[in-house]
Chain A
């Protein structure tokens, strides 16, 4: 478990180091069951840090999202480290970014926070509608405790935790320079039931399901921008020449967009579930990405973000790759 006071102490020490530029963690949100990414520049700002079931953001995306401003002549670029609080799934994103040289190991300082599951905003808001001002939360034995305005409540974790936490096999960070707490038990198991259930239908049924979802997409690209693995300098979707996908929001372009993103994540998606969490129109994106993570596991015995020395899946091959569909 992670003791938040110890975490704050670690954060204060870390941010005081002169080779650390900033520390990224979470703070209590501005209303209801929200938390927000918290950028600590000075030791005193570490007091607002929290680590609770509300901390669903995968902060690894900020390692590759931050723009590199032009360095004024005569100045040196700021190469100080960025310290990052990571849960188990987040740490896989850091590992995969290292594998793909999206970041360099010496530029990031990882503070591992073993995690016992984060809440699903929609489930919690449906269960406790009268949330009002900020609600703090904490983990119970197999439950999650919420301090509502109307008092303390405890809900069984299955009712409030995000889907990805039910199938989580990596609650303990795979990579950490500093451990903020001791390891927790792994209780999730992953049979890809959501994917197998979809595979069971026939193509027509599957298309009806996805057509309804993709046609409701408003192309806000939050699923792309939140993803720690989507860090192209100039995404093909934003390009006009060649215009891979047109910008009009209709079933054809939206499907092409979602297929392009899902495919670009094959062998790279570390199932942090952020895309599904942030989608304003609630498209079940994990149900789409997990199809490929299942295939990649079954066909190539490959799990992205688990081994810093591994070669990216789509940049390597094995002479004996199985492919029985080739004429």
Chain B
């Protein structure tokens, strides 16, 4: 089953580092699977951890949050706050039964186009292994 299964992944990228790194992967014409779709935010600190729960509800099979390496944040501290919040959120959703491969976080700087390609590859593989997300997905439950 997971061979044909193409996971749908929602990614939150910070504008200054990860989004720029993803753009760089584009300008250098690297290739990676199309399963991942990006929502741009100004800083990984803006990503409300409940977005991840909401994304899993609204049809995402995997979620990625990517920001600047610690110390590089354009706003100095946003990624530090994100790291603490998502450390907690990851523990919580795995505790209720979300497979570990579904939620991922990464540091990708504006100059790491190649790393972005690897990160996308890894996230897609993990989501494919975890299979379609059914646990608490909104799926017209007893409509």
Q: Which residues of B contact A (CB under 8 A)?
A: 49-50, 53-54, 57, 70-71, 77, 80-81, 83-100, 104-107, 119, 122-123, 135-139, 141-142
Give the distance in Å from the alpha carbon of A314 to the alpha carbon of B86 in the complex: 11
Partner of A203, one of B88, B100, B106, B141: B100
What are 16 of the A-B contact pairs (CB < 8 Å)?
A: A198-B95, A207-B97, A210-B96, A211-B135, A251-B141, A252-B136, A252-B141, A256-B53, A256-B54, A258-B96, A259-B96, A263-B89, A292-B88, A314-B85, A318-B80, A326-B105
Interface-side segment among A102-110, A150-158, A172-180, A295-303: A295-303
Q: Which residues of A contact B53 (CB under 8 A)?
A: 256, 259-260, 263
Q: Which residues of B contact A246 (CB under 8 A)?
A: 138
Smallest CB–CB gap between A15 and chain B, Å? 42
Smallest CB–CB gap between B132 and chain A, Å? 14
A317-B91 CB under 8 A given contacts A252-B141, A326-B107, A327-B104: no
Q: Which residues of B contact A236 (CB under 8 A)?
A: 50
B80 A317 Cβ-Cβ under 8 A: yes
User: Is A288 an interface residue, CB under 8 A from the partner?
Assistant: yes
Interface centre among A259, A266, A299, A325 (most CB of B within 10 A): A259
| CB contact list, A276-327 vs B, under 8 A | 288, 291-292, 295-296, 299-300, 313-314, 317-319, 321-323, 325-327
A260 B88 Cβ-Cβ under 8 A: no
Q: Which residues of A contact B80 (CB under 8 A)?
A: 317-319, 321
Partner of A300, one of B84, B86, B97, B139: B84
Give the distance in Å from the alpha carbon of A198 to the alpha carbon of B92 in the complex: 12
Interface centre among A256, A263, A296 (most CB of B within 10 A): A263
A327-B91 CB under 8 A given contacts A207-B97, A255-B135: no
B49 A263 Cβ-Cβ under 8 A: yes
Q: Which residues of A contact B (CB under 8 A)?
A: 195, 198-199, 203-211, 214, 236, 244, 246, 248, 250-253, 255-256, 258-260, 262-263, 266-267, 288, 291-292, 295-296, 299-300, 313-314, 317-319, 321-323, 325-327
A327 B122 Cβ-Cβ under 8 A: yes
Smallest CB–CB gap between A209 and chain B, Å? 8
Q: Which residues of B contact A248 (CB under 8 A)?
A: 141
Residue of B nearest to A260 (CB): B50
B84 A203 Cβ-Cβ under 8 A: no
A250 B141 Cβ-Cβ under 8 A: yes
Q: Which residues of A contact B85 (CB under 8 A)?
A: 314
Interface centre among A295, A296, A327 (most CB of B within 10 A): A327
Q: Which residues of A contact B94 (CB under 8 A)?
A: 203
Interface centre among A199, A251, A260, A317 (most CB of B within 10 A): A317
Smallest CB–CB gap between A248 and chain B, Å? 8
A244-B54 CB under 8 A given contacts A292-B88, A327-B106: yes
Give the distance in Å from the alpha carbon of A255 to the alpha carbon of B98 in the complex: 12
